[in-house]
Structure 1
Amino acid sequence: MNLDKDKAVALLNQIMELELAGVVRYTHYALMVYGYGRIPIVEWLNKQAEEGLLHARKAGELVTLLEGHPSLAIGPLLETHQHDNSLACSIPVGDILRESLAHEDAALKSYYQLLELAQGKSVVLEEYARTLIAEEELHADAIRKMLRQPCATPTEK
């Protein structure tokens, strides 16, 4: 049972690109938040950007472990621009969080693909994928919780 190194390198580069896009995305979002609740939201967004950079570095290290070449690309930076400040006095943080959740879901998909590729073939890649899946699932859960309306009944969530 040999690991397909080319596929693993391609997936790791994809992960690295997604994580770097997350760094840019979360940094951008942190700059776009205004209002009374800005400080804790900006702190959380900046923390996500810092974690994304660590995740990207680790993916790059694993690319070189497999004798591959780390990508210089950055993943998609598409945004809805729903949070631009042209129509309202405050930034709709919910839009930022929904975009963040979509980004986390894309990253999770890549980590699951890596886990599937590595299972039974590379303990290092398996453990890396499992660890990052757990982290990304917790990030996605935190975002879902932030999107919940306080005092909403279960059907209103």
Structure 2
Amino acid sequence: MANTGIDQDAVVQVLNHILEAELAGVVRYTHYALMVFGYNRIPIVSWMRGQANESLLHANEAGELITHLGGHPSLGIGPLLETHKHDIGDILRESLEHETQALAEYYSLLELVNGRNVLLEEYARRMCALEETHVGEVRKMLLKPGG
């Protein structure tokens, strides 16, 4: 890859944080899906499992970019907050915190590559948009109907 003026070490470090956060999302959403009970279980479990699958895809994509840059993908997993409260509202608030932290990592990447590397900039912008959507979805899910 041509020298594009990016700090490759810093970019790989942020990509590794993203990889770890997305892997934590796989574990987190898989766990949450197992802990949902009540009338709306089926659609919520389906959504959670979809989030887990999407997190795995995002982790793979971050890992591929790390190796593209000549880096070494982390074997770590990001923080796994567990409040042991399994009300759907509690689960969604934990999920919102996780999504917000992941979004911050993607914005950190965008800062490092903006105007310097088209591949990484387009990736960061796309992922920021996806994570912004996830944050918005979870916020809407936490609203009371008619509120």
Partner of 1:14: 17
Aligned pairs for 1:96-111 (under 5 A) are: 96-111=91-106
Q: Distance in 1 between matches of 2:129 and 2:82?
A: 25
Structural mapping, 1:44-123, within 5 Å: 44-83=47-86, 92-123=87-118
Offset of residue 134 of structure 1: 0.5
Give the TM-score normalised by structure 2: 0.96
Alpha-carbon distance in 2 for matches of 1:145, 1:78? 21
How far apart in 1 are the matches of 2:38 and 2:85? 17
Structure 2, unaligned runs of 5 or more:
none
What does residue 129 of structure 1 align with? 124
Residue 14 of structure 1 deviates from its aligned partner by 0.4
What is the aligned length?
144
With the length of structure 1 as denominator, give the TM-score of the two structures.
0.90
Question: After the TM superposition, which parts of structure 1 deviate over 3 Å for at least 4 consecutive aligned residues?
Answer: none
Q: Once the two structures are superposed, what CA deviation does each residue of 1:90-135 show, in whole Å capped at 9, x if it has no partner?
A: xx10000000000000000000000000011111110000000000
Q: Indicate the RMSD between aligned Cα atoms, in angstroms.
A: 0.8
Q: Does the 8 Å CA contact 2:81/2:94 hold for their aligned counterparts?
A: no
Find the counterpart in structure 2 of residue 144 from structure 1: 139
Which segment is superposed worse, 74-83 or 27-36? 74-83
| SS across alignment from 2:37 | coil
State the identity %.
Answer: 64
- Alpha-carbon offset, residue 82 of structure 1: 1.6
> Counterpart of 1:117 in structure 2: which amino acid?
L
